[in-house]
Amino acid sequence: MQNKQMPLIFEISKEGRIGYSLPEMDVPEEQIETLIPEEYIRTEEAGLPEVSELDIMRHYTGLSKRNHGVDSGFYPLGSCTMKYNPKINEDVARLPGFAHVHPLQDESTVQGSLELMYDLMESLKEITGMDEVTLQPAAGAHGEWTGLMMIRAFHEANGDYQRTKVIVPDSAHGTNPASATVAGFETITVKSDENGLVDIEDLKRVVGPDTAALMLTNPNTLGLFEKHILEMAEIVHNAGGKLYYDGANLNAIMSKVRPGDMGFDVVHLNLHKTFTGPHGGGGPGSGPVGVKKDLIPFLPVPVLVKQGNQYAFDYDRPQTIGRIKPFYGNFGINVRAYTYIRTMGPDGLKEVTEDAVLNANYLMRRLAPYYDLPYDTHCKHEFVLSGRKQKKLGVRTLDIAKRLLDFGFHPPTIYFPLNVEEAMMIEPTETESKETLDAFIDTMVQIAREAEETPEVVQEAPHTTVVKRLDETQAARKPVLRYEKEA
Amino acid sequence: MTFRYLPMTEQDKKEMLSAIGVDSVDELFSDIPEKVRFKGRLNIKEAKSEPALMKELSQLANKNINLKTHASFLGAGVYDHYIPSIVDHVISRSEFYTAYTPYQPEISQGELQAIFEFQTMICELTGMDVANSSMYDGGTALAEAAMLACGQTRRKTILISEAVHPEYREVVKTYARGQRHQVVEIPLNNGVTSTEQLKELMSNDVAAVIIQYPNFFGRIEPLKDFAAIAHEYKSLFVVSCNPVALGILTPPGNLGADIVTGDAQPFGIPTSFGGPHCGFFAVSKKLMRKIPGRLVGQTVDEDGRRGFVLTLQAREQHIRREKATSNICSNQALNALAASVAMSALGKKGIREMAVKNVQKANYAKKQFKEKGFDIVYDGPIFNEFVLKVDKPISQLSQHLLEKGFIAGYDLGKLDEKLHGHMLVCVTEVRTKEEIDQFVEEVGAYHAK
């Protein structure tokens, strides 16, 4: 990384420079005022930068050097599954036959795209144990909302308008309750027990005739498998509710256990996690949703179907929740996920899960002597440590995270889940080697020692990054959300 | 079998198992109840080598007709535009595309600054005060705008013009159903939204008036008139727009818009069979704390150096949970980066030149059709699309054009029976005079048959 301050692209702009080469103007030109009413012709130019092509390339190359990605180094960000993003995926997604197809072309001219989507749906059905899949949701949260809207439509179709409540564990991601609200539900929280699992007695207490669904991540956000899942499914189903699986964490279960077999009625997957769609600095993602039979009528339109050897979109679904997105989902991300599944095959995906879980348990056991491990049991693909031992020495989890930056590591997810004090949520993924894990362990051990011996080194970290800790309070109190040219 | 993405050797495995204190990997899965364990082998296709898979998927891609092999006159919300070569080179820097959301600002300054610049560019184009870091696409961005309006005004009715993209309207309706709001469509008058009808529909329960600019039929809507009507009832005025058109058109922010959304796909983003594209969302200052999605703000570090962070996060789901203004988390950051690069390449001059070329070429095509004796329906000022009346089934015409090397315009009969035999023709700056002339010629020849 470079230390130099980076100007904004607007600050290197110089009047008269250009960075484009538009197609020739080869038709006879008319006066623009004769084509557009005068009051709708822009009088003030948009303040876009004026820069040459090399200016742009240097600018963004400079910015890229101030950014950490999986290709730059270890990225054990819990719950985000920052595994390697295969390069063949990028090549396939850029094939002109995939990248430059218009969504409204006649179906007969896009059979290649439809075949890929259909085969991906078939694969996801098999991996999750569900009966049908839609590829439309653009991201995990969008998938959650789609799934919950289908559950609501299902209950309403049965006349169950009183089912207005969605139950989520206290360890759930913030998106779960947010998605429930956006789908028109109220959220109820179910407590965790002393083992970090859903408290079955509390679940029995909160379910009832107003229960629409229980939303669950399994393994949960502590990285623990909810081993009472069948009992939980029975409790919820007996009360007439549906079971929703937040499949952001599929990396831990492929080929080992399937949501459909555990009793889940709806599952969403984050193809940009388990299935190697790159995160892109925040997106785009893809959040397909799988459902059991009784929810199929409510799938968003259009539904991709196979008729003989042809593929087609079916819009004739009277009970559908409607359209949730223009066109058919983030196709480009789905291409990447499909390429990955085809690269790995059934044996590969199984090994992915085994290696991910082995890596996580190895890290957990090696770090446990130095950091507090609140739930001392085998984890799945991730685990949660607590920094409370270090907090007593005046070193917060935030400080530990910042200190890791000095060693070229992206820190774990911190202060989540909310039910663990000073939480550090660590997910190594299967694509990291033992050497990388060992280097991370050595660093974490060193930081634990620093917390005891030279706490200020940790408290004042990071020392080597292009900027030091940033003033977030100022950012929020006096928001500067865009560049303004100095007068 | 071994896999190139999985570095674990047998030796590693042995050492790791011993460090954990178990004999086998299976023990780590012992907490999964026996009854539900998956014991078979997944019934999916077998793994393929890199070359074999590349070959197979290239063949699959070749089954599609694409915009590189055919000259396209199809738009309707997704457009074939000039993509500067530089765009893909920038977004292929893996420091950008293999990064997560920039939660650790000290090692994410590149992404954060790039988004800050994107926010600025969107503000500049739309004439608005604040823009977020992106939404999934133009359709869901518009739906979120409608939800914001209902929340802000505490009202439950959304008025949306029938000249808003039909798929966007459907998405708005689905979101509205989620939150129990109602959507009412505003009828048209000769291809633009009827001000008279809007006036009749207005009431003190209207949260938002939604207009598309230019509208689905290519027409430039008189935004000013609608803004006045909306504001008379203290409703929010929401505009869904094509950002390229704003290179030449007066920005909605100058015409009274409270929220401006759209899709930045025309800026450097391939059509990609409909996604991923890049929604954008801009608001006036008074709605800043209600905007959904991520916002990047400028601040300073401990040494006073300028830096960027995600800010005003109290709006967002990971903090607010069920009280968040939206459930969005992942957005379209990489596509926002692509759009930023394309907007930087175009710059102040290029954006106008590109917009003008769309207007000129589309109007040229329209004129050529008229000279051939065709009717242009909903005729009036347009940006880069217009409605051509053909009087023949569009599906057959499209097939004929395909054989001649063209992707035809959108068959409006699919939406509305009254519009059978009508085609929405799109002409962007990438169509040459030769292509336009041939296209007009072929449509004319087929029509005369």
Q: Write the pLDDT tens digit of every residue in B176-234.
A: 999 999 999 999 999 999 999 999 999 999 999 999 999 999 999 999 999 999 999 99
Mutate to test the interface with B, among A40, A234, A250, A466 (most CBs of B within 10 A): A40
Residue pointed to by tokens 């009508």: B422
Determine the pLDDT at residue A410: 98
Between CA A374 and CA B414 the distance in angstroms is 59
Q: Write the pLDDT tens digit of every residue in A135-189.
A: 999 999 999 999 999 999 999 999 999 999 999 999 888 899 999 999 999 999 9
pLDDT > 70: percent of chain B: 100
* B291 Cβ under 8 Å from any chain A Cβ: no
Between CA B264 and CA B138 the distance in angstroms is 8
Residue pointed to by tokens 């009202």: B155
Distance (Å) from the alpha carbon of B158 to chain A's nearest alpha carbon? 16
Between CA A463 and CA A457 the distance in angstroms is 9
* B24 Cβ under 8 Å from any chain A Cβ: no
| Residues forming beta bridges with residue B255, ordered by sequence position | none
For residue A177, what are the CA distances in angstroms to A193, A222, B143, B400? 20, 18, 19, 52
In a 3-state reduction of DSSP, which class is residue B186?
A: strand
Nearest-by-CA chain B residue for A301: B170
Which strand (E) or helix (H) includes residue B193? strand B192-193
Q: Find chain B residues with C-beta within 8 A of A339's C-beta.
A: 53, 57
Distance (Å) from the alpha carbon of B103 to chain A's nearest alpha carbon? 9
Q: Do A102 and B72 touch (CB under 8 A)?
A: yes
Contact (CB, 8 A) for B341 and B87: yes
Contact (CB, 8 A) for A346 and A185: no
Q: Do B44 and A183 touch (CB under 8 A)?
A: no
In a 3-state reduction of DSSP, which class is residue A271?
A: coil
Nearest-by-CA chain B residue for A170: B321
Determine how β-strand B296-300 pairs with β-strand B306-310: antiparallel
Q: Considering only the beta carbons, identify the residue of B65, B300, B351 that sits closest to A48.
A: B351
Best CA proximity match to B78, nearest among A331, A384, A274: A331
Name the token pair of B127. Answer: 């004439």
CA dihedral A200, A202, A207, A208 (to 10 degrees): 120
Distance (Å) from the alpha carbon of B22 to chain A's nearest alpha carbon? 10
Q: Which residues of A450-471 are buried (b: 16+ CB within 10 A; e: fewer)?
A: bbeeeeebbbebbeebbbbbbb
In a 3-state reduction of DSSP, which class is residue B127?
A: coil
Q: Write the pLDDT tens digit of every residue in B277-333.
A: 999 999 999 999 999 999 999 999 999 999 999 999 887 777 777 777 789 998 999
Give B236-255 as a DSSP string: EEEEEE-TTGGGTBPPGGGG
**How many CB atoms sit inside 10 A of residue A17's CB?**
16
* B20 Cβ under 8 Å from any chain A Cβ: yes
Q: Considering only the beta carbons, identify the residue of B38, B130, B321 that sits closest to A174.
A: B321
Contact (CB, 8 A) for B439 and B365: yes
Given CA atoms A388, A389, A394, A396 in this order, what sign does their dihedral have? negative
| Residues forming beta bridges with residue A188, ordered by sequence position | A167
Q: Find chain A residues with C-beta within 8 A of B35's C-beta.
A: 230
Q: Find chain A residues with C-beta within 8 A of B356's C-beta.
A: 32
In a 3-state reduction of DSSP, which class is residue A414?
A: strand
Best CA proximity match to B121, nearest among A63, A93, A9, A184: A9
Determine the pLDDT at residue A485: 86
Between CA A378 and CA B27 the distance in angstroms is 9
Name the token pair of B279. Answer: 């929604």
Q: Find chain A residues with C-beta within 8 A of B90's C-beta.
A: 56-57, 60-61, 64
Residues 203-222 of B with CB under 8 A from A: 220, 222
Determine the pLDDT at residue B321: 75
Asked if the model's pLDDT at residue B106 lies above 90, the reply is yes
Best CA proximity match to A390, nearest among A469, A462, A457: A457
Between CA B83 and CA B341 the distance in angstroms is 10
Determine the pLDDT at residue A5: 83
Q: What is the mean pLDDT of residues B331-349?
A: 97
Q: Could you give the count of Cα atoms lying within 13 Å of B331 in the half-sphere of its Cβ?
A: 28
pLDDT > 90: percent of chain B: 94
Contact (CB, 8 A) for A49 and B340: no
A93 contact partners, CB below 8 Å, separation of at least 6: A99, A332, A335, A336, A339, B272
Which strand (E) or helix (H) includes residue A313? strand A310-314
| Residues forming beta bridges with residue B209, ordered by sequence position | B159, B237
Mutate to test the interface with B, among A11, A60, A378 (most CBs of B within 10 A): A60
| Residues forming beta bridges with residue B411, ordered by sequence position | B423
ipTM beyond cut 0.95: yes
> Which residues of chain A carry a pLDDT beneath 50?
1
Determine how β-strand B71-72 pairs with β-strand B259-263: unpaired
Q: Write the pLDDT tens digit of every residue in B363-384.
A: 999 999 999 999 999 999 999 9
Residue pointed to by tokens 């090397």: B405
Best CA proximity match to B341, nearest among A49, A69, A432: A49
Mutate to test the interface with A, among B95, B249, B353, B433 (most CBs of A within 10 A): B95
Residue A312 is given by DSSP the state: E
Contact (CB, 8 A) for B324 and B317: yes
State the count of interchain CB pairs (< 8 A) between A and B. 700
Q: Write the pLDDT tens digit of every residue in A351-376.
A: 999 999 999 999 999 999 999 999 99
Between CA B410 and CA B414 the distance in angstroms is 9
For residue A243, what are the CA distances in angstroms to A252, A263, A292, A296? 19, 7, 10, 15
Asked if the model's pLDDT at residue B1 lies above 70, the reply is no
Residue pointed to by tokens 């400028």: B298
Q: Do A35 and B359 touch (CB under 8 A)?
A: yes
Give A186-242 as a DSSP string: EEEEE-B-TTSSB-HHHHHHH-STTEEEEEE-SS-TTS---TTHHHHHHHHHHTT-E
Asked if the model's pLDDT at residue B415 lies above 60, the reply is yes
Name the token pair of A422. Answer: 């000073």
B78 by Cβ neighbours in 10 Å (0-12 / 13-18 / 19+) ranks as buried
B416 contact partners, CB below 8 Å, separation of at least 6: none
Determine the pLDDT at residue B280: 98
